[in-house]
Chains A and B, each alone.
Chain A
Amino acid sequence: MLRDITLGQYYQTDSVIHRLDPRVKLMTTIVFIISLFMVKNFIGYIVAALFLIGIIKLSHVPFQFIIKGMKSILLLLIITVGFNLFLTPGEAIVSVWKLTITREGVKIAASMAVRLSFLIIGSSIMTLTTTPNNLTDGMERLLNPLKRIKVPVHEVSMMMSIALRFIPILLEETDKIMKAQIARGADFESGNLIKKAKSLVPLLVPLFISAFRRANDLAMAMEARCYRGGENRTKMKPLKYYKRDFIAYGFTGFYLVFVIAIGRVFFIL
Chain B
Amino acid sequence: MGIIKAGKLAFEYIRRDDEGNVEGITRAIDDVDLDIQQGDFIAILGHNGSGKSTLAKHMNAILYPTEGTVWVDGKDTKEEKYLWDIRQNAGMVFQNPDNQIIGQVVEEDVGFGPENMGIPTKEIWERVEESLKAVGMYEFRKHSPNKLSGGQKQRVSIAGVIAMHPKCIILDEPTAMLDPNGRKEVIRAARALNQVEGVTVVLITHYMEEAIYANQIIVMDKGRIEMQGTPKEVFSRVEELKRLRLDVPQVTLLAYELKKAGLPLPDGIITAQELVDALKKQK
* Residues on A facing B (Cβ under 8 Å): 131-133, 161-162, 164-165, 168-169, 214, 217-218, 220-228, 232-238
Interface residues on B, range: 35 or more
Contact of B164 among A131, A165, A225, A237 (CB under 8 A): A225
CB-CB under 8 A from A131, the residues of chain B are 104
Jot down 16 A-B pairs with beta carbons below 8 A, ordered by A. A132-B104, A133-B104, A165-B101, A165-B104, A217-B94, A217-B99, A218-B100, A221-B92, A225-B160, A226-B84, A226-B113, A226-B116, A226-B117, A227-B116, A232-B118, A236-B115
**Is the CB–CB distance between A224 and B115 below 8 Å?**
no
Contact of A226 among B62, B88, B108, B145 (CB under 8 A): B88
CB-CB under 8 A from A217, the residues of chain B are 94, 96, 99-100
Instruction: Return the chain B residue nearest A132 by Cβ.
Output: B104
**Cα–Cα, bound, A165→B105 (Å):** 9
- Secondary structure class of chain A's binding surface, majority of residues: helix
**Cα–Cα, bound, A221→B97 (Å):** 10
Give the interface segment out of B64-72, B121-129, B195-203.
Answer: B121-129
Contact of A236 among B91, B104, B125, B161 (CB under 8 A): B125
**Cα–Cα, bound, A220→B93 (Å):** 11
**Is the CB–CB distance between B116 and A225 below 8 Å?**
yes
**Is the CB–CB distance between A164 and B84 below 8 Å?**
no
Instruction: Return the chain B residue nearest A165 by Cβ.
Output: B104
Contact of B99 among A132, A214, A223 (CB under 8 A): A214
Q: Give the 5 A-B CB pairs with smallest separation, nearest first.
A: A221-B100, A236-B111, A217-B99, A226-B116, A225-B113
- A168-B128 contact in complex given A132-B104, A161-B104, C-beta closer than 8 Å: no
Instruction: Return the chain A residue nearest B107 by Cβ.
Output: A236
CB-CB under 8 A from B92, the residues of chain A are 221, 224
Expressed in whole angstroms, the minimum distance between the Cβ of A128 and any Cβ of chain B is 16
CB-CB under 8 A from A218, the residues of chain B are 99-100, 102
Contact of B102 among A222, A232, A238 (CB under 8 A): A222
Instruction: Return the chain B residue nearest A226 by Cβ.
Output: B116
Using A165-B145, A226-B164, A236-B125 as known contacts, list a sample of 19 further A-B pairs with CB atoms less than 8 Å apart, ordered by residue number in A: A133-B103, A133-B104, A133-B105, A133-B108, A161-B104, A165-B104, A168-B146, A169-B146, A217-B94, A217-B100, A218-B100, A225-B102, A225-B112, A233-B115, A233-B116, A234-B124, A236-B111, A236-B114, A237-B108
